[in-house]
Amino acid sequence: MRRYFYYLILVNLFTNLVVYVPKILISHRYNGVLFSILIGTLLGLFLMYLFTSSMEKFPGRTQADIVSSHLPKWISSPYLFLVAILFFGTGYLILNAFIEVSKRFINPDMPNLVAAILFTSFVIAGAAVKSDRLLYFLEIILFFNLPLLLLVLVLAYINPFLSWDSIRTLIPQARFQISWESIGASCYTLLGFFYLATFNKFFSGKGSYLNWYRMILIGLLGLSIVLTSIVIPVGVAGIDGINSYVYPWISTTDSLQMEYGIIERVLFIFLFFHICISLIGATVSWHVSLDIFKAILPKIKFRQKNVTSYLVSFVFFVGVTTTSITLNIHQQLQIAKVYYISLIPASILSVALMYWIARRKRA
Amino acid sequence: MKINTLFTSILMLILLSLTLTGCGFKDIDKRNFVLAVGIDPGEKEEYVKVNLKLAIPNAEKTKEVRDFTVITEEAKTIAEAVRIIKSRVDKEIDFGQLKTIILSEELLERDLQSVLDWFIRRRDIQQISYVALSKTDTINILQLSPKGEKIPSNNILLTFSTTGTKSSYVTTVQLYQLRRALVEKGTDPILPIIEIVQEKFRVNKLKIINGEKENMLDLTPEETKLFNSIFNEYKMGTIVIEGKLYFIVALDKMKTSYKLVTNTEKPYIKYDIIMKGFIEESETELKSESLPKYEKVTSKNMEKRVQNLFEKLQEAGVDPFGFGLRYRATHRGSKEEKMEKWNAIYPDIEFRVNVKAEITGTGIIE
């Protein structure tokens, strides 16, 4: 089952192209974004190592299970509640970005509310299935979408009109000033390992998730995806012009052309990738969030059935649909910034706690 | 459990049916596809005249289907003009197929960025549309349908794209490239000029615009050809060598690279060109033993011409090659500081062009 661990990492890597990460990185292009990206990915990689090596000590158990059996309830419940909220946040941001994009590019005549209801119900239905089925689903989605992403990236890099001088202009700006937003945003792309909170239950105890060369490979892949997410838009739209695009990656792929291909406007290929990755990314993170909520919330019985997860799903549903009609994209972007900044201390704390529990178990 | 699954699947089906909306509730026969847009300055001050070339769909596939109509409207902005045009047609106007944007040369006296704003902002307009400049009213360009054109507006499209004709005289500029060069400090946009000659289109001239200082420069067809072969590393170009020997070199390899040296007392740009080709036509007898001699003549000739082109651009104060952007890419400091420094350097910078020509043969005859 180890390959599913890489799918979880990959899906989080790719969602960074469809959420607000490129937009945040681009807004810091004049003040040392490259340095922040480097710090962010190194931090993400370090946390990945600590977290996976701690979870390996508890084969077949989920994070909620481990934490509540090793810590007193008054610490474990608020902690897990916070973690679940953060997982909800990931899916929330992906879904909201996707609703905006679908309104703008896929079906402009569909009201925001209808789109929100449609996509949220889809994601909730997906998040409610059993964990192993979700993993199979994830595998199929990635299988169909990886070639599309590769095609878009290859077309972007071989485009003869890509302005490499604009991209090179990023380098002299990389002075040693860092911004928390861009560190958080680039760290976020490598945080796919947190999904092990639920999916660790399939880990048999044999072998390990990572070794040093896999870590280097994942680190390089992560770094190149994060760099690509800023380099290609800057090369296509120019370092001075890119900031005015609200959806940098969509406008960028619209500037790519495949003259001899099946479809000339590369935008549509990217949009298809966008739809699939957004929906599966949101589904996976909400599945984990629901799973943790189920573990910590009291069981509410209705006709002898536990309806806690339905209630939580309903809260998710209301959360997305109401904000999708009340907040505009700039307010969403502000929420995303706050979320990415808060991810840094939250993930360090969370990983440190797990590491401490694992150490104590060994002792 | 079984009822639960049934319920879920029915729910999913209902939800899925919501996506079956077709083309945003408007079918293809209720749409008017815009093939080309022409923008002219309006008769009133600050007004723009918008010409839309609309396709008339035809069910029968006859020999030459060339039905189209051009609608013209004048308003303060492009968006307003399009709104008025919408009230004049019966179907929804669809810009999804728009690939050609023709701008009138007189528009350049205004702020080009504000003219382009509408095109960039619209989600349905392709960023890969071709942009060209017209010396006359753009309606003339839109209304011309040269013989042999099977689909309206296809002629312009094939001229600019590489799927049709390939010519080293044609400069291709797409919407996103124009916008990038316009906004980017340190590089200036170029636009091809489209004309009508003998009921056919002709694209062999180039205009370079400097947005801030309002300098403009027209290149002659000969200069345009040279510009294209070094700017786009255009491989299929030809070079005419005149003088004691007269021959034409057809290129099949063109590589350029340059270095910007500003830390010496006299800053210079070292421009290297490596080209490879064969002789396509000659008026004097050529010998394959003396190929090195021809190579030397070609190199010298080319060096001089490129040097002259660069100096002409420099004199006019335009920088389409983006030397200024290269300066920004290799120096530290804030954007404004660097641009100020560069603007002081550029008028006096020296060009050192170095051409390495290789001639592989004299064609299939000697």
Q: Does A303 touch chain B (CB under 8 A)?
A: no
Q: Does B121 touch chain A (CB under 8 A)?
A: no
Beta strand segments in B230-330, E:
238-241, 247-261, 268-282
Phi, psi of B194 (to 5 degrees): -110, 135
A188 torsion bin: left (phi>0), alpha (psi -120 to 50), beta (else) = alpha
Give the pLDDT score at B18: 64
The set of residues, in sequence order, having a beta carbon less than 8 Å from that of A293 and lying 6+ positions away, is: A84, A308, A309, A312
Question: What is the tens place of the pLDDT at every residue in A99-147?
Answer: 888 888 877 777 888 888 888 988 998 888 888 899 999 999 999 999 9
**Range with the lowest mean pLDDT among A52-56, A305-309, B188-192?**
A305-309
Among all residues of chain A, which has the CA nearest to that of B117?
Answer: A244
Give the CA angle between residues B332, B337, B343 to the nearest 5°: 110
Instruction: Kindly list the residues from chain A whose CB atom is less than 8 angstroms away from the CB atom of residue B185.
Output: 240
CB B21 to CB A109 under 8 A?
yes
Q: Does A176 touch chain B (CB under 8 A)?
A: no
Among all residues of chain A, which has the CA nearest to that of B173?
Answer: A161
CA–CA gap between residue A12 and residue B270 (Å, rounded): 45
What is the C-alpha R_g of chain B?
26
Q: What is the pTM (predicted TM-score) of this model?
A: 0.87
Q: Does A53 touch chain B (CB under 8 A)?
A: no
CA–CA gap between residue A325 and residue A340 (Å, rounded): 23
CB B322 to CB A165 under 8 A?
yes
Structural domains of chain B, ranges and CATH numbers in brackets: 27-219 (no CATH), 220-366 (3.30.300.210)
CB A265 to CB B126 under 8 A?
yes
Question: What is the tens place of the pLDDT at every residue in A61-92?
Answer: 888 888 888 888 888 888 899 999 999 999 99
CB B184 to CB A166 under 8 A?
yes
Q: What is the dihedral of CA A267, A270, A275, A279, to 10 degrees?
A: -150
Do the beta carbons of residue A286 and residue A309 sit within 8 Å? no
Q: How close B126 gets to chain A, by Cα (Å)?
A: 7
Q: How many domains is chain A built from? A: 1
Mean pLDDT value of segment A148-162:
90
CB A237 to CB B333 under 8 A?
no
A30, A108, A163 ranked by CB distance to B24: nearest: A108
Q: Does A158 touch chain B (CB under 8 A)?
A: no
CA–CA gap between residue A244 and residue A237 (Å, rounded): 10
CB B325 to CB A125 under 8 A?
no
- The HSE-up count of residue B52 (CA atoms within 13 Å, CB side) is 24
Among all residues of chain B, which has the CA nearest to that of A169?
Answer: B329
The mean pLDDT value of chain A amounts to 87
Q: How close B23 gets to chain A, by Cα (Å)?
A: 8
* Structure tokens, B101: 């944007």
Q: Does B330 touch chain A (CB under 8 A)?
A: yes
Of residues B240, B238, B245, the one with CA closest to residue B283? B245
In this predicted structure, the answer to whether residue A2 has a pLDDT above a threshold of 80 is no
Q: Does B127 touch chain A (CB under 8 A)?
A: yes
CB B126 to CB A254 under 8 A?
yes
**Range with the lowest mean pLDDT among A350-354, B12-16, B21-25, B185-189?**
B21-25
Among all residues of chain B, which has the CA nearest to that of A101?
Answer: B123
Among all residues of chain B, which has the CA nearest to that of A109?
Answer: B24
CB B25 to CB A251 under 8 A?
no
**Which amino acid appears at position B311 of this protein?**
E
Q: Does A257 touch chain B (CB under 8 A)?
A: yes
Question: What is the tens place of the pLDDT at every residue in B194-253?
Answer: 988 888 888 888 888 886 667 788 888 888 888 888 888 777 778 888 777 788 888 888
In this predicted structure, the answer to whether residue B19 has a pLDDT above a threshold of 70 is no
CB contacts under 8 A, B 4-63 vs A, are 8, 11-12, 15, 18-19, 21, 24-25
**Range with the lowest mean pLDDT among A47-61, A285-299, B114-128, B149-163?**
B149-163
Instruction: Kindly list the residues from chain B whose CB atom is less than 8 angstroms away from the CB atom of residue A265.
Output: 126, 128
Q: Does A114 touch chain B (CB under 8 A)?
A: yes
CB B161 to CB A259 under 8 A?
yes
Question: What is the tens place of the pLDDT at every residue in B31-58?
Answer: 888 989 999 988 888 888 999 998 877 6
**Which amino acid appears at position B66 of this protein?**
R
* Structure tokens, B232: 């786009």
Mean pLDDT value of segment A182-194:
88
Structural domain harbouring A117: 2-362
CB A259 to CB B185 under 8 A?
no
Among all residues of chain B, which has the CA nearest to that of A172?
Answer: B332
Q: How close A73 gets to chain B, by Cα (Å)?
A: 34
- The HSE-up count of residue A242 (CA atoms within 13 Å, CB side) is 30
Do the beta carbons of residue A274 and residue A145 sit within 8 Å? no
* Structure tokens, A276: 């699939």
DSSP string, B293-324: HHHHHHHHHHHHHHHHHHHHHHHHT--TT-HH
Burial A128-141 (b: 16+ CB within 10 A, else e): beebeebbeebeeb
Q: What are the Cα distances from residue B239, in Å, to A30, B22, B32?
A: 42, 53, 45
CB B325 to CB A166 under 8 A?
yes
A108, A239, A257 ranked by CB distance to B184: nearest: A239
Among all residues of chain A, which has the CA nearest to that of B162?
Answer: A259
The set of residues, in sequence order, having a beta carbon less than 8 Å from that of A196 and lying 6+ positions away, is: A5, A8, A51, A52, A55, A63, A203, A209
Quickly state the pLDDT bin for B63 (edges 50, 70, 90). Answer: low
Give the pLDDT score at A143: 92
Q: Does A118 touch chain B (CB under 8 A)?
A: yes
In this predicted structure, the answer to whether residue B65 has a pLDDT above a threshold of 60 is no
Instruction: Kindly list the residues from chain B whose CB atom is less than 8 angstroms away from the CB atom of residue A169.
Output: 325, 328-329
Instruction: Kindly list the residues from chain A whose CB atom is less than 8 angstroms away from the CB atom of residue B332.
Output: 172, 175
For residue A313, what is the domain's CATH number?
1.20.1740.10
* Structure tokens, B20: 């079956």
Q: What is the DSSP letter of B364?
A: B
As a whole-number percent, the residues of chain B with pLDDT over 70 amount to: 92
Q: How close B257 gets to chain A, by Cα (Å)?
A: 12
Q: Does B259 touch chain A (CB under 8 A)?
A: no
B25, B180, B326 ranked by CB distance to A109: nearest: B25
